[in-house]
Amino acid sequence: QQLDLKDKIVIGYIGSFVEYEGLDLLIKACKILYEEVGDVFRLLLVGDGDVFAQLRSLAEDMGLSEIVIFTGRVHHDDVQRYYSLIDIAPLPRKGFRVCELVSPLKPFEAMASGKLLIVSSVKALNEIIEHEVTGLVFEKDNYQDLAKKLESVVVDEDLRNEIAKSGNLWVKENHSWENIAKSVTSIYEHLLERDAL
């Protein structure tokens, strides 16, 4: 599939399209961003899920059909190719209990791929990122704040590259896949034990 991304900054999300991932907040933030900075970026949404149709309608209703690109479900082997197109990787998870407790692997994948990570302030994500050093943190459920954080790195290429580089270095030094797997496994074991009580 040919994507028209030439000379555009690409804000991208790869994963499941479910309510708690906050992709509706991301689209609303991109509406504000578009009004502030104009036609300099694209929002690339890769994946599928329960809220796919709802998100597509939201993008159309907000007049962002040219800005937001939906690829639909892609083969796992193509994920890295899509990552290579992305400059900024937001994870706008909402303040749901599961989001507060369990971190996905996505932030580590994004940083390992050299992308600038922007996460919501849910506990599990906030603990990973040092704000303005290894990534950016915005106030959870607040798309205006997400728009502000996006704008700060869309307009400042040096800042964008500097933070992305720091995040990449941090993940290489602190989080081998082996360590991540161990930590995720222990979290799930803890949750399973607690639920069994």
Domain contains 4: no
Indicate the length of the chain as a whole number. 197
The Cα 20–Cα 135 span in angstroms is 21
Q: Which residues pair with 68 in a beta bridge?
A: 43
Q: Which residues pair with 137 in a beta bridge?
A: 119
What is the predicted pLDDT for the residue at 136? 98
Domain contains 129: yes
Residue 7 φ/ψ, nearest 5 degrees: 60, 20
189/33: higher pLDDT: 33
Domain contains 1: no
Domain contains 153: yes
The Cα 155–Cα 143 span in angstroms is 18
For the question of whether the overall pTM of this predicted structure is more than 0.85, the answer is yes
Residue 48's domain comprises 9-196
Contact 111, 170 (CB under 8 A): yes
Please give the tally of structural domains in the chain.
Answer: 1
Domain contains 3: no
Domain contains 59: yes
Give me the CATH number covering residue 115: 3.40.50.2000
The Cα 9–Cα 154 span in angstroms is 7
**Parallel, antiparallel or unpaired: strands 88-91 and 116-120:** parallel
User: Could you read off the pLDDT of 80-122 as tens digits, one per residue?
Assistant: 899 999 999 999 999 999 899 888 889 998 999 999 999 999 9
* Residue 79, token pair as written in the block: 């994920």
DSSP percent split of the chain into helix, strand, coil, nearest 5: 55, 15, 30
User: Could you read off the pLDDT of 62-79 as tens digits, one per residue?
Assistant: 999 999 999 999 998 998
Name every residue whose Cβ is closer than 8 Å to that of residue 15 and which is 6 or more positions away in sequence: 21, 46, 47, 104, 106
User: Could you read off the pLDDT of 4-26 as tens digits, one per residue?
Assistant: 788 999 999 999 999 999 999 99
Residue type for position 147: A
Q: Of 25, 27, 19, 20, nearest to 45 (Cα)?
A: 27
Domain contains 37: yes
What is the predicted pLDDT for the residue at 174? 84
Q: Which helix (H) or strand (E) holds 29?
A: helix 23-37
